[in-house]
Amino acid sequence: MSIRLCIGDYAKNGYEPEHMGMKVYSLEELCFFIKENAYLLDDGFVEEGLGSWLVQECGLQELGEELQKASRKKVSLKSFVGIILEYACFFTKEVNREIENILVENSSLSVYEKKKARADALVKKGHYGLAGKEYGKLLQMLPDDLTVLKGDIYHGCGVCLAKMFYFTLAGEYFLKAYELTGKITSYKQYLWTKRLSMTEGEYVEFLKEHKEAYEDSVEMEEYLEELKTQWERSHTGMLFAGIQREKELQKIAEYQNKLKERVDYLKDAYREMIS
């Protein structure tokens, strides 16, 4: 595979893509910007000014003129971005296809839906702290009349908080989501946070006060048993079982060392997750 890095000059005057509020100063920065903001780009990105900037500031005559022609022909956002990515060879072909697929999938979304899609993608990648911040910013700017979308964003907030073990607070967001959308998924997640944040006695009392949750609760208990079995058979589960046996055999020093190693590993993983 041919890879070309640092193509063209580093611009003295940065280029600010439409509506994005930030500037790029090189072709490589432009490619990185496209990748990181693929969920937010719209047809406003297809503008002749980008081609002019690449010619005048970065000395990229061939690419700039090709983009100017493409803009005048009003090509699709996918085609326009494809020209840039193919010329730069900054990412692999697989990453380029992933970016182009995102552009196609989100072409009909509103700016709010695109921002939510970006946060959803962060959740899928396990960046729960960053995703939570994106959801929070979106809630602040979202119009009041977009009730269902607001409910879906609340659900996303709940997922992030639950993944970071803030079950009580996560439950509040799941309940808000259910009240706005009526989606049973949000209600079930609300029940899960109750189950995980309460003692068994407290949870039983909760069910007495919320008889409508009984059937879903039975389903949850069955699933918990399945999860317990899966955990015991998993690599991590067997690892902790082995550590516990060290304690039972009175090998306290080995038990403490192995436990500390595992806890340190989990702490690092948690820090990375919420960063």
- Averages of pLDDT over runs of 10 residues in the chain (275 residues) are 65 81 89 89 88 94 95 94 93 93 87 88 86 93 94 97 95 97 95 92 91 87 85 82 78 79 77 67
CATH fold for the domain made of 111-197:
1.25.40
Helix 27-36 vs helix 93-105: angle between axes, to the nearest 10 degrees? Answer: 50
Instruction: Quote the pLDDT of residue 40.
Output: 80
pTM assigned to the model: 0.67
What pLDDT does residue 273 have?
64
Contacts of 13 (CB under 8 A, 6+ apart): 53, 57
152 near 177, Cβ under 8 Å? yes
| CA–CA separation, 82 and 87 (whole Å) | 8
Every domain of the chain and the residues it spans: 27-105, 111-197, 235-274
CB atoms within 10 A of CB 164: 16
**Buried b / exposed e along 169-195 (16+ C-beta atoms within 10 A):** ebbbbbbbbbebbebeebbbbbbbbbb
Tokens of 75: 């090509």
Residue 158: name the closest of 147, 144, 145, 168 by CA: 168
Question: Within 109-213, where are the H helices?
Answer: 111-124, 128-141, 147-163, 167-181, 184-197, 200-209
pLDDT at 7: 81
pLDDT at 20: 61
How far is 70 from 86, CA to CA, in rounded Å? Answer: 14
Phi-psi domain of 273 (left: phi exceeds 0; alpha: psi -120 through 50; beta: other): alpha
Q: Are 27 and 60 in contact (CB under 8 A)?
A: yes
